[in-house]
Amino acid sequence: MKSYKIALLPGDGIGPEVAVEAVKAVEAAGSRHGFQTEWVRYPFGAAHYNKAGEILPDSALAEMGLCDAMMLGAVGDPSVKPGILERGILLKLRFRFDQYINLRPARSYESVPCPIPLPKGVRIDSVVVRENTEDFYMGIGTTREAPSSNSEGSANPEGGVDVPFEAERGLYNLSGRLTAKFDPDCAAALQIGAITRPGVQRVTRYAFDLAKKRGEKEVVLASKANAVPFLYGFLDEETKRAAAAYPDIALKIQNVDALCYHLARNPARHGVILCPNLFGDIVSDLLSALTGGLGLGAGGNIGDGLSMFEPVHGSAPDIAGTGKANPLAAILCAAMMLDHIGESAGAKSIDEAVASYLNESDEPARPIELGGAASCRTVGDAVAQKIG
């Protein structure tokens, strides 16, 4: 029997609650389709950090790299300063394994009402292809308190900052120093983004290949060259250049503000939506909401090495421990993961089980997020049972 080694990082808040249900779905698919899963579980997240002071050690990264795939619930907790766990765990994993695609499909279900009513027979079937390693996410920057303290770089009473930076990617390395001079009494923050030709090329190819596979004639690029010309002007030009290899598929460049406007008025208007990192984060939450809720938004961080599957949503501390979390996003991530490791029949069983669960359940049997009364575990059990 085939066996897969899967790294599992449940994380914080509702992360562990939804991860359990995703594991159930994988196990059910394994029993039905004849494969086994060995879960390698990691404790990283707020509780571990608060207890042991450890965020994500290199030894764990090395071990994870030997797994066939990874599943992550969510990280981030009000007891820890924002960014420590998110950057220290989630972004570290994305960058370390050069997971350059964040693939976030958004599909609506017939039986789940969308906040913007769709015309009869129209369904949302979009996919955000988010560049996942560049843009303002690179972490290059500093904060300067007045007059002289500085958390990351060096500051001096004359107002200067001087911060070294380094980014290692599979395709290239970037390093240098960020230097600037502020008025001595001016507290300020400085952060830069980077977008590179190889970075744009690989995500553009991925988006256009996907559009081709989906039989679509257009890819929309979320941009903002009118206000941020260096970064997104370059993005537009480089995307056009890379898209020239696909003469049958049009590239439509749209400012991200207008894109959000149009999506809110007509959620089903696009197929593949190509986004730089920051806009992709925002647009994917919007699309999840338009399909019915964040608890339906699945995603995968895809690279040439270890790929990691995690819902679009976060740790939702406002509902953690209440049973209100909708685990369907995590369960749909399990399907994406199985597809990725080559168990496409198992993936299909999970996708179909979710669809039939949603379409066949009367309202009270649906997840609380979708207006029903079913707890996280009840939803997970119902889907696992349908998988067979």
| Interaction site with ligand IPM (CB under 6 A) | 76, 86, 90-91, 281, 312, 314
Contacts with ligand NAD, 261-300, as mask; x by CB under 6 A: ---------------------------------xx-----
Residue 190 host element (H or E): strand 188-194
Give the count of alpha carbons within 13 A of 357, CB side only.
Answer: 29
Which is closer to Mn ion, CB of 238 or CB of 281? 281
Which of ligand NAD, Mn ion, ligand IPM, none is residue 63 near (CB under 5 to 8 Å by kind)? none
Residue 350 host element (H or E): helix 344-360
Cite the DSSP H helix spans in 266-343: 277-291, 328-341
Contact pick of 314, 346, 372, 380 for ligand NAD (by CB under 6 A): 314
Kindly list the distances between the CA atom of residue 114 and the CA atoms of 130, 229, 351, 370, in Å, as whole numbers in the listed order: 23, 35, 19, 10
Nearest alpha-carbon partner for 84 in 57, 52, 45? 45
Which is closer to ligand IPM, CB of 280 or CB of 367? 280
Contact pick of 21, 131, 134, 310 for ligand NAD (by CB under 6 A): 310
Which is closer to ligand NAD, CB of 75 or CB of 211? 75
Contact pick of 21, 98, 135, 281 for Mn ion (by CB under 5 A): 281
Q: Are 133 and 171 in contact (CB under 8 A)?
A: no
Which is closer to ligand IPM, CB of 91 or CB of 330? 91
In the three-class reduction of DSSP (H, G, I as helix; E, B as strand; rest coil), residue 248 is classed as: coil
Least Å from the CB of residue 312 to ligand NAD: 7
Of the listed pieces 70-78, 97-105, 127-135, 149-157, which binds ligand NAD according to CB under 6 A?
70-78
Of the listed pieces 149-157, 188-196, 306-314, 335-343, which binds ligand NAD according to CB under 6 A?
306-314
Which of Mn ion, ligand NAD, ligand IPM, none is residue 64 near (CB under 5 to 8 Å by kind)? none
Cite the DSSP H helix spans in 34-118: 46-52, 58-64, 84-85, 92-96
Which is closer to ligand NAD, CB of 318 or CB of 352? 318
Instruction: Name the residue with the smallest CB distance to ligand IPM.
Output: 86
Q: Is 105 in the site for ligand NAD (CB under 6 A)?
A: no
Q: Is 376 exposed, middle or buried (0-12, 13-18, 19+ CB in 10 A)?
A: buried
Q: Are 164 and 177 in contact (CB under 8 A)?
A: yes
Q: What is the DSSP letter of 295?
A: G
Which of Mn ion, ligand IPM, ligand NAD, none is residue 382 near (CB under 5 to 8 Å by kind)? none
Tokens found for residue 280: 């992709």
- Sheet strands side by side (includes 69-74): 35-41, 2-11, 69-74, 308-309, 300-302, 101-107, 125-131, 272-275, 218-223, 250-255
Of the listed pieces 129-137, 200-208, 243-251, 308-316, which binds ligand NAD according to CB under 6 A?
308-316
Which is closer to Mn ion, CB of 286 or CB of 341? 286
Handedness of CA 308, 309, 313, 316 (dihedral sign): negative
Q: Is 103 in the site for ligand NAD (CB under 6 A)?
A: no
What proportions of the chain, in percent to the nearest 5, are helix, strand and coil? 40, 25, 35
Q: Which residues pair with 24 in a beta bridge?
A: none
Contact pick of 28, 308, 329, 374 for ligand NAD (by CB under 6 A): 329
Q: Are 44 and 89 in contact (CB under 8 A)?
A: yes
Contact pick of 68, 86, 162, 209 for ligand NAD (by CB under 6 A): 86
Of the listed pieces 89-97, 192-200, 280-288, 316-324, which binds Mn ion according to CB under 5 A?
280-288
Residues that bind Mn ion (CB under 5 A): 281
Residues that bind ligand NAD (CB under 6 A): 14, 18, 74-76, 86, 90, 294-295, 310, 313-319, 325-326, 329, 369
